[in-house]
Homo-oligomer: A and B are copies of this chain.
């Protein structure tokens, strides 16, 4: 499975970078890196380019011993882990991407698909898949939200019609900025600890999700490429980017796991942060504005794929 998954994440990275570069006209900076403790990765970043303010697509395969801190991030999800001589061999691999466009009418997308293996003291192996794709618009465009969710639903439905409703809800719950009482965006799908029915079945499902990234996002980018925008709209985008930073640094499990894993590559983990972000004291958009409409949806998630 390790090899199959590794091939899949590399292919996903290549396809998505190709599609983004075609739209943007720029060239990704490609960095290969090694992790002293085991493994490494490839980070592809397009920064301050034509269409994208910051586009990062990262693949990593890391293995070695799980730190106590990183193990806690897992235990908090209800897994109890038996160490051998204090050691806990693990292998984690995945593809992860965050795209922040310049134009506030093109939404930010994030996706991440990953596979995890842990060897316990008695030699038994735990494994699971996790992942998701979610959209964070600055302004609400209902057609975009519907297209995005329907594309994801189609990818899920091929495997089991129960998956999309469950993972859509999971996404709304996961990307919740608790202290603000709002979601990060209009959602998508999110799942973790997926280990049934079989390893092959879960992999096939994850591959379908990863294949859906280009068709669920690129048409939206192309549609809004030439939308005009005002400096006020740009400023609202910067405030929303501030919220994005809040979620990623305060709540996101992947970021926390990365920051807590010794030898992890900080630049690749924090490439998810936008080029620019803004915080204004007591900012609340006036009722009836497009900004207030966006907030309304972030506070009360909707069912877009019906």
Q: Which A residues lie at the B interface, using CB under 8 A?
A: 29, 31, 43, 45, 47, 54, 56, 178-180, 238, 242, 245-246, 249-250, 259, 266-267, 270-271, 273-282
Contacts and interface: CB of A to CB of B under 8 A. Distances in A.
A54 B279 CA distance: 9
Nearest to A250: B249
B280 A275 contact: yes
Contacts of A259: 178-179, 250
B179 A276 contact: no
Nearest to A43: B281
Given A250-B259, A273-B242, A276-B276, A281 B266 contact: no
A281 B238 contact: no
Main secondary structure of the interface of A (DSSP, over half): mixed
A238 B279 contact: no
A267 B281 contact: yes
A126 B45 CA distance: 51
Nearest to A267: B282
A180 B266 contact: yes
A249 B245 contact: yes
A167 B99 CA distance: 43
A68 to B, nearest CB: 14
Nearest to A276: B278
B47 A280 contact: yes
Contacts of A178: 259
Contact of A282 (B31, B276, B278, B280): B31
Interface centre among A54, A274, A277 (most CB of B within 10 A): A277
Nearest to A246: B249
A21 to B, nearest CB: 16
A278 B279 CA distance: 12
Given A259-B179, A266-B180, A54 B271 contact: no
Nearest to A54: B281
A250 B257 CA distance: 12
The 7 A-B pairs at the shortest CB distance, nearest first, are namely A249-B249, A273-B279, A45-B281, A179-B259, A179-B266, A276-B278, A267-B282
A158 to B, nearest CB: 36
Nearest to A56: B281
Given A31-B282, A45-B281, 17 more contacts: A29-B281, A45-B282, A56-B281, A179-B259, A245-B245, A245-B277, A246-B249, A249-B249, A249-B250, A250-B259, A274-B279, A275-B278, A275-B279, A276-B276, A277-B277, A277-B278, A277-B279
A93 B279 CA distance: 25
A242 B267 CA distance: 13
A1 to B, nearest CB: 30
Contacts of A43: 281
A166 B246 CA distance: 33
